[in-house]
Structure 1
Amino acid sequence: MINRTIEVGTGVHVKVPATTANLGPGFDTLGLALAYYDELDVTVREEPGVHVDVHGVGEGQVPTDERNLVVRAIKHAFDAYGIEMPGLDIVARNHIPHGRGMGSSGAAIVAGIMAAKGLLEGNVEMDAQAVLTLATQMEGHPDNVAPAIFGGLTIAWVTPEGPRSKKLIVHRGVSPVVFVPEHTMSTALARSLQPESVPHEDAIFNVSRSALLVAALIQSPELLLEATEDKLHQSYRASAMPETDQLIRALRDAGYAAVVSGAGPSILLLCDEPQQRLEATALVEREALTPWQSLMLAVDFKGATVVPHPVGVLA
């Protein structure tokens, strides 16, 4: 491990968007960045070790030392280049809900790696592909980390040489809404409900709908209802989140393109007219048995950013 000195007081500010993966039929492949952000200020200190000051989501709950996911991501990036991680003071301002299918773990991983990228500038040139590779190594799959890094709509896949991603620009007529419940859902539990194999006709169904969904999101939003149909994962997970399933059925029966957001239990609604967001929110308020928060969001087109602080200054 190389002990390469990074000047005390060197700091960076990182901003990472929430994401929603799968989008119905695009299981483990399609992802969308949302204009809802976690932010991070990281400063090199003289003393060894790490301290994390968490504000907002996770405050008083997530670890504030080396066990913190952001810290583990920073260390993962430093280790990948054989450089010893310095002592760090970290201030995290979190807005992305945890355990709700909005990519909170992916955002934390990307935030940490982007922070490392900024701190290592001048010592290591970490390009976007390196960020994607490091983030996927930690997350296990690229469908959430890709849109968090690049913004917009992303198609992600894995090759023998590593993960790959293609960013597409979403049609300006697409208006996302995320309905967020008070209860959480374990991604590991959601994945455990998936069967090892699926019927041939279901696989064909999802291939057609995934292709149609890309066209709907970038060119023809009026096709979103049909394009978000799925037979690979949502029905298998329905028993673990019955209210999510019930609300999605009610929304789709009313003509809205509603799907499970990521592993759930949040619901993603893709509208092709702004008025639909208000109408769908009213429907959820009528039908829901428990409180749900409605987040009317834009698509984030920029992805994760990192900018330096002047030495010795924490923004």
Structure 2
Amino acid sequence: MTTTVKVRVPATTANMGPGFDCLGMSLDIWNTIVVERDSSVSGGEVVSISGEGRDSLPTDAGNLVYQSFKRIYDGLGIPALAVRLTCENEIPLGRGLGSSAAAVAGGLLAGSELSGAKLSSKRILELAAEIEGHPDNSAAAILGGCRIVVSDGDGYLTEPVNVPDELKTILFVPDVPMATDEARGVLPPTISRQDAVFNIGRTALLVNALASGNLNHLETATEDMLHQPARQKLFFPMKNIFRAAMSAGALGVFLSGAGSSVLALARDREYTIGYEMADAAMKSGVDGAIKVTKPTLLGAHVVED
């Protein structure tokens, strides 16, 4: 009988400019979760956290990883095992990089493994979307790679989008977080037909540019009229960072998820691009860190030690 399970879950970027709530991509930044059976645990602190969120995330049964782990047992109609969780977090919190999606995906996968349920990725995605509410992040976190995800009424359809190996991602991660609820709250309740057509065309162009490797289209393909203009009100340096990234050689740039991170796509000059993004932010009064990384085809997975 399995007594310990170790899983890794990637960071994700959602929307990717025009693909609001329907495009997501996993990034080579990881949270690692170890779940061990421990009969001595009876309430109180059940989670040990290092790295991101160590001073702010709950360590009791209210922890999102634990809640997601327990969801598997609730679905099976059996009591959850007494366990102790160890979380090593690389994914920044509240920065539009899918930290919540990673917590949910990791907890569900660990629960599926430790319980013996061995749920399909499709079922884990359905559960994750119920808990997290954002299937674009969840699909990329669970399945890996760049993902199109749409609701078909009964569940979710998701298909991969090939991403060229040469593509690099440069993140400016501000010191200030942005709450997803607040970032959604500023969005207009309706949009014009013109803006809808603008985004539909660019979403199609973005998928084609990535799949075909025609990366010169990315500047236009990552433009957006549905959410980024409204979110500019919450993160005023955004356009300055966009301009700095493009001037330094980025192929395209967008707000990662609901923000506050900004992600640039490039073939090369990634450290120059990162420096210029950080410099533009600093001149606007915002400090932060640069992370140079890349997309990953790996989603949430069990690590066999």
Aligned to 2:122: 129
The CA distance in 2 between the partners of 1:187 and 1:144, in whole Å, is 13
Residue type at the aligned position of 2:169: P
How far off is 1:24 after superposition? 0.2
Secondary structure of the corresponding residue to residue 25 of structure 1: coil
Q: How many residues align?
A: 298
How far off is 1:304 after superposition? 0.6
Aligned to 1:148: 141
Secondary structure of the corresponding residue to residue 98 of structure 1: coil
Aligned to 1:226: 220
The CA distance in 2 between the partners of 1:93 and 1:279, in whole Å, is 30
Secondary structure of the corresponding residue to residue 34 of structure 1: strand
How far off is 1:169 after superposition? 2.4
How far off is 1:307 after superposition? 3.8
Structure 2: tracts of 5 or more residues without a match: none
Does 2:32 align with 1:32?
Answer: no
How far off is 1:222 after superposition? 1.7
The CA distance in 2 between the partners of 1:60 and 1:158, in whole Å, is 36
How far off is 1:254 after superposition? 5.7
Q: What percentage of aligned pairs have identical amino acids?
A: 36
How far off is 1:44 after superposition? 1.1
Conserved 8 A contact 1:11-1:308: no
Secondary structure of the corresponding residue to residue 189 of structure 2: coil
Aligned to 2:203: 210
RMSD: 1.6
Secondary structure of the corresponding residue to residue 172 of structure 2: strand
Secondary structure of the corresponding residue to residue 135 of structure 2: coil
- List aligned pairs for 1:46-61, cutoff 5 A: 46-47=39-40, 48-49=42-43, 51-61=46-56
2:275 counterpart (270, 278, 282): 282
The CA distance in 2 between the partners of 1:119 and 1:84, in whole Å, is 13
Conserved 8 A contact 1:15-1:38: yes
How far off is 1:223 after superposition? 1.1
Residue type at the aligned position of 2:132: E
* Cα distance change of structure 1 residues 120 and 21 upon mapping to structure 2, 3 Å threshold: same
2:173 counterpart (172, 176, 180): 180
Conserved 8 A contact 2:95-2:177: yes
Which deviates more from structure 2 when the two are superposed, residues 295-304 or residues 43-52? 43-52
Which deviates more from structure 2 when the two are superposed, residues 227-236 or residues 279-288? 279-288
How far off is 1:278 after superposition? 2.5
Residue type at the aligned position of 1:37: W
1:158 counterpart (132, 139, 151): 151
Aligned to 2:256: 261
The CA distance in 2 between the partners of 1:206 and 1:253, in whole Å, is 23
1:139 counterpart (128, 132, 135): 132
The CA distance in 2 between the partners of 1:297 and 1:254, in whole Å, is 17
Which deviates more from structure 2 when the two are superposed, residues 289-298 or residues 101-110? 289-298
Secondary structure of the corresponding residue to residue 233 of structure 2: helix
Conserved 8 A contact 1:203-1:232: yes
The CA distance in 1 between the partners of 2:118 and 2:289, in whole Å, is 41
2:74 counterpart (72, 79, 83): 79
Secondary structure of the corresponding residue to residue 296 of structure 1: strand
Which deviates more from structure 2 when the two are superposed, residues 71-80 or residues 299-308? 299-308
